[in-house]
Amino acid sequence: MYNIDDYGDMIADRQRTGAFARALEAAVRPGDVVLDIGTGTGIFPLFACRFGASRVHAIESAPHIQVARETAAANGVQERVIFHEGSSRRIELPERVDVIVSDLRGQLPMFRQSLLAIIDARRRFLAPGGRIIAERDDLWMAPVEAPNLAKAFRQPWCENPWGFDLSAGLPLAANTVARGPVGAQQLLAAPMLYAAVDYVRAETAELQARAQMRIERDGEADGLATWFDAVLFEDIVLSNAPGAPLSYGQAFLRWPKAVKVTAGDIVEVDVRADLVGTDYVWSWQSTVRRAQGTVVESFRQSTFLGEPMTPSMMQAISSRHVPDLGEDGDVDRLVLEHMRGRNSLGQIAAVLAARYPHRFAGEAEALRHVAELSLRYRRMPGESR
Amino acid sequence: MNLDDRAAIPPEVLVRQLGEETVILDLASGTYFGLDESGTRIWQLLQQGATLREVCNAMLAEFDAAPQDIERDVLDLARELSGRGLIRIA
């Protein structure tokens, strides 16, 4: 998911890392057991140990966990940090923890299965009276004038210099949630606090909210910026507001076209984020009204409409569809059926190459495919049979 | 359910049409439901506010099928969509 440069950027972000360090210092008491979900290259366990944790359970599904192990050893805390490779929702801990820390956000806390992971960890692992970092994310929104962000997604499909009609790409581009940055001077209305994610109590990973904002100056609105203020612990807040020098960037909910607005106009937004499979579908319905009530524009958008999709893909995901396994499936099924703890990858590759000579130029090519599947489906350390 | 009923589409239902086919995403359950060409046309008519009777009449004019078959297909689909929470009959 992240590469080493991404992890480097997160660590180098002094505002972010410094805020989490302060939160850990305030939350961790001598002798505490701490859980870090999504430890990455493992900097939070170091802070937790520095501030008195007797033990830290550090969970990470990415292979960068090896960097975290080496980092723990380099800092002399390898005996206090226990690493767990895999998804937190499939891992069992031998004990309850006093503090859970995680930073699984994207531009917003609704990011892949992060909320599910935190809710699950709180229920299964947090001791009574335990603390969570972050405690809460407040979500803010404002209409913005962002001609550069808007031009970047509209121009290729609407104003290309080659004389072709490329407008078929616009609906996909317009239904995509983009990443800022957005500056404070680009806001057209005072930001509105439209939702909060309470990690101490949250029982659902979904978001459904309404925002109503009054335009404060004339301009051209290109969409909506939304960001978080993360209350990490007590009064320690990490804000991703426009202009904040944080590495997350604000989310930009695009509008398909710019809307001329005047001071006093009202922008109403119904926004929801629904976890479908492993990621969120974001939907935002925006209405711009004049002060006296006349509707100027109304857009109904969703990332569901922004996903590249073909008719055969549509059929393949429908609940009424009767599927028929293709040859890719047959190939993988053959490989997986041979992964029962008896055959080496080389032996499986030989079977595969012999069965599908038109797919694999030889055993070496078959072996590369078998190795990929072995990596994806291997039993993780500590995973029970 | 009768032929004078109309359908409303709940806000948690999203629809995407490609060519003559449609896929419906129910955000409440996170599941997808596909419609073929005739199902897509029925959905369009329901979305425009037609009664089931008006849907049947329009389908009769557009598709080469017997009236009783069209009425059965329209009612069957409306019942299935309603049962899955993809439309609300009113």
How much is the pLDDT for A257? 94
Q: What is the pLDDT of residues A255-287, one digit of tens each?
A: 999 999 999 999 999 999 999 999 999 999 999
Mean pLDDT of B33-57: 96
Q: Estimate the crossing angle of helix A327-337 against helix A363-377, to 10 degrees.
A: 70
Mean pLDDT of A133-146: 98
**Residue the block writes with tokens 């806000």:** B11
Query: Residue A232 and residue A99: Cα distance in Å, rounded?
Result: 12
**3-state DSSP percent of chain B in helix, strand and coil, to 5:** 45, 25, 30
Q: Does A294 touch chain B (CB under 8 A)?
A: no
How much is the pLDDT for A248? 86
How much is the pLDDT for A381? 78
Determine contact, residues A55/A33, Cβ cutoff 8 Å. Answer: yes
* B20 vs A172, higher pLDDT: A172
* A195 vs B18, higher pLDDT: A195
Q: What is the pLDDT of residues A321-349, one digit of tens each?
A: 999 999 999 999 999 999 999 999 999 99
- Confidence class for position A220, pLDDT limits 50, 70, 90: very high
Q: Cβ separation of A272 and B32 shorter than 8 Å?
A: no
Q: What is the mean pLDDT of chain A?
A: 96
Is the pLDDT reported for residue A382 higher than 80? no
Mean pLDDT of A109-114: 93
Q: Looking at the partner chain, which of B11, B21, B25 has a beta carbon nearest the beta carbon of A311?
A: B21
Is the pLDDT reported for residue A385 higher than 80? no
* A231 vs B19, higher pLDDT: A231
Is the pLDDT reported for residue A197 higher than 80? yes
Determine contact, residues B13/B24, Cβ cutoff 8 Å. Answer: yes
3-state secondary structure of A6: helix
Mean pLDDT of A309-313: 92
What is the distance in angstroms between the Cα of A198 and the nearest Cα belonging to chain B?
21
3-state secondary structure of A83: strand
Q: Cβ separation of B18 and A315 shorter than 8 Å?
A: no
> pTM score > 0.90 for this model?
yes
Q: How many CB atoms lie within 10 A of CB A209?
A: 16
DSSP string for residues in A154-189: HHHHHS-TTS---GGGHHHHHT-EEE----GGGBSB
Q: Does A268 touch chain B (CB under 8 A)?
A: no
Q: In the structure encoding, which two tokens stand for residue A155, read together?
A: 């121009």
- Confidence class for position B90, pLDDT limits 50, 70, 90: confident
User: In chain A, which residues have their Cβ closer than 8 Å to the Cβ of B25?
Assistant: 276, 281, 304
Mean pLDDT of A80-105: 96
Structural domains in chain B? 7-85 (3.90.930)
Is the pLDDT reported for residue A245 higher than 80? no
ipTM above 0.85, yes or no: yes
